[in-house]
């Protein structure tokens, strides 16, 4: 499956079949997080070969350009540097949490709206008021807030933890 690495040993590239599996996994990922001696990098459009990992674009949080409006003479952001296999300790794929976070914050908004609807008179006649508005507006607001927050939150899954691969 791959090459095991002892402490202090120089890492070698994964074998060809492992590289193919990793490339297939990374090609469908929303974002890839690579950790190693260089720190942690979030990348998109990741490519692998026997020398290491390269990407054409930085991942989320990196500016795609210098400003909203740029002149033709402004250089684009630098391309991420190649990372050799002996520098890499972990590769993870990330998926956003938009759906889960939006659902959960909509539920919280609906519960808060229901609490207000049941306890505070909001109607013109001193009654409970329209449930669709008193409960629906906080639920919809919670959903939108959750979608915004969830788009910035990732669930990470390791695909290459170098230290756990075993030698053949």
DSSP per residue, 73-93: TSPPPPPPPPEEGGGEEEEEE
Q: What confidence tens digit (pLDDT) does each residue in 66-107 have?
A: 566 767 777 766 677 888 898 899 999 988 878 888 888 889
* Helix spans in 28-135 (H): 98-119, 131-134
Q: Specify the pTM.
A: 0.59
Exposed/middle/buried for residue 107 (C-beta within 10 Å: 0-12, 13-18, 19+)? middle
What is the distance between the alpha carbons of residues 163 and 72, in angstroms, rounded to a whole number? 46
């Amino acid at each position: 499956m791959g090459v095991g690495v002892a402490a202090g040993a120089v890492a070698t590239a994964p074998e060809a079949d492992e590289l193919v599996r990793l490339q297939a996994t990374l090609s469908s990922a929303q974002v890839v997080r690579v950790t190693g001696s260089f720190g942690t990098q979030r990348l998109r459009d990741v490519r692998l070969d026997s020398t290491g990992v390269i990407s054409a674009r930085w991942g989320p949080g990196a500016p795609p350009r210098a400003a909203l409006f740029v002149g033709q003479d402004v250089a684009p952001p630098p391309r991420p540097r190649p990372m050799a296999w002996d520098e890499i300790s972990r590769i993870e794929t990330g998926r956003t949490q938009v759906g889960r976070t939006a659902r959960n914050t909509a539920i919280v908004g609906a519960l808060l709206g229901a609490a207000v609807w049941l306890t505070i008179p909001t109607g013109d006649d001193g009654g409970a008021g329209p449930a669709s508005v008193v409960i629906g507006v906080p639920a919809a607001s919670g959903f939108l807030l959750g979608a915004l927050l969830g788009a910035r939150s990732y669930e990470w899954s390791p695909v290459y933890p170098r230290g756990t691969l075993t030698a053949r």
